[in-house]
Amino acid sequence: MLIGTDGNVHAPRVMKSLSPDFDEAAIAAVKQWKFKPASKYGNPVDAWADIEVTFQLDRPPEPSPSQH
Protein backbone atom coordinates (compact mmCIF):
# COMPACT_ATOMS: atom_id res chain seq x y z
CA MET A 1 0.00 0.00 0.00
CA LEU A 2 1.01 3.56 -0.46
CA ILE A 3 0.77 5.68 2.68
CA GLY A 4 0.22 9.25 1.56
CA THR A 5 1.43 12.48 3.09
CA ASP A 6 -2.06 12.74 4.61
CA GLY A 7 -1.57 9.41 6.47
CA ASN A 8 -4.30 7.71 4.44
CA VAL A 9 -3.88 4.45 2.56
CA HIS A 10 -3.74 4.78 -1.22
CA ALA A 11 -3.34 2.08 -3.87
CA PRO A 12 -3.70 -0.99 -1.63
CA ARG A 13 -2.78 -4.23 -3.41
CA VAL A 14 -2.89 -7.87 -2.45
CA MET A 15 0.51 -9.49 -2.82
CA LYS A 16 -0.55 -13.06 -1.95
CA SER A 17 -4.18 -13.97 -2.43
CA LEU A 18 -6.06 -16.48 -0.30
CA SER A 19 -9.41 -15.91 -1.97
CA PRO A 20 -11.25 -13.00 -3.61
CA ASP A 21 -13.46 -12.62 -0.52
CA PHE A 22 -10.46 -12.30 1.81
CA ASP A 23 -8.75 -9.95 -0.65
CA GLU A 24 -11.75 -7.61 -0.69
CA ALA A 25 -12.06 -7.71 3.11
CA ALA A 26 -8.36 -6.97 3.59
CA ILE A 27 -8.46 -4.02 1.18
CA ALA A 28 -11.62 -2.65 2.81
CA ALA A 29 -9.98 -2.92 6.24
CA VAL A 30 -6.70 -1.20 5.37
CA LYS A 31 -8.50 1.64 3.59
CA GLN A 32 -9.92 2.58 7.01
CA TRP A 33 -6.51 2.74 8.69
CA LYS A 34 -4.68 6.00 9.35
CA PHE A 35 -0.90 6.25 9.67
CA LYS A 36 1.61 8.86 10.68
CA PRO A 37 3.20 9.69 7.31
CA ALA A 38 6.86 9.05 6.64
CA SER A 39 9.05 12.11 6.58
CA LYS A 40 12.16 13.26 4.79
CA TYR A 41 14.04 16.32 6.03
CA GLY A 42 11.10 17.00 8.34
CA ASN A 43 8.51 17.03 5.56
CA PRO A 44 5.83 14.37 5.05
CA VAL A 45 6.39 12.11 2.04
CA ASP A 46 4.51 9.25 0.39
CA ALA A 47 5.90 5.83 1.30
CA TRP A 48 5.17 2.26 0.22
CA ALA A 49 4.59 -0.32 2.95
CA ASP A 50 3.96 -4.05 3.00
CA ILE A 51 1.45 -5.00 5.70
CA GLU A 52 0.28 -8.51 6.53
CA VAL A 53 -3.42 -8.77 7.32
CA THR A 54 -4.41 -11.70 9.52
CA PHE A 55 -7.99 -12.93 9.75
CA GLN A 56 -9.54 -14.66 12.73
CA LEU A 57 -12.70 -16.56 11.99
CA ASP A 58 -15.09 -16.86 14.91
CA ARG A 59 -16.98 -20.07 15.48
CA PRO A 60 -20.69 -19.91 16.20
CA PRO A 61 -21.39 -20.22 19.93
CA GLU A 62 -22.00 -23.69 21.28
CA PRO A 63 -25.58 -24.25 22.51
CA SER A 64 -25.80 -24.19 26.28
CA PRO A 65 -26.90 -27.41 28.03
CA SER A 66 -30.19 -25.76 29.04
CA GLN A 67 -31.17 -25.42 25.35
CA HIS A 68 -31.49 -29.19 24.80
Per residue in 11-33, pLDDT tens?
999 999 989 999 999 999 999 99
Residue 68 lies in a domain: no
Chain centre to alpha carbon of residue 58: 18
Which structural domain, as residue segments, surrounds residue 51?
2-61
| Element at 21 (helix H, strand E) | helix 20-30
Task: Report the domain count for the chain.
Answer: 1
Averaged pLDDT for residues 28-42: 96
- At residue 60 the predicted structure's pLDDT band, cuts being 50, 70 and 90, is confident
Residue 7 lies in a domain: yes
| Element at 45 (helix H, strand E) | strand 43-45
Which strands form 9-10's sheet, in the order they lie side by side? Answer: 9-10, 2-3, 47-48
- At residue 68 the predicted structure's pLDDT band, cuts being 50, 70 and 90, is low
Tell me how long the chain is.
68
60 vs 41, more confident? 41
Residue 67 lies in a domain: no
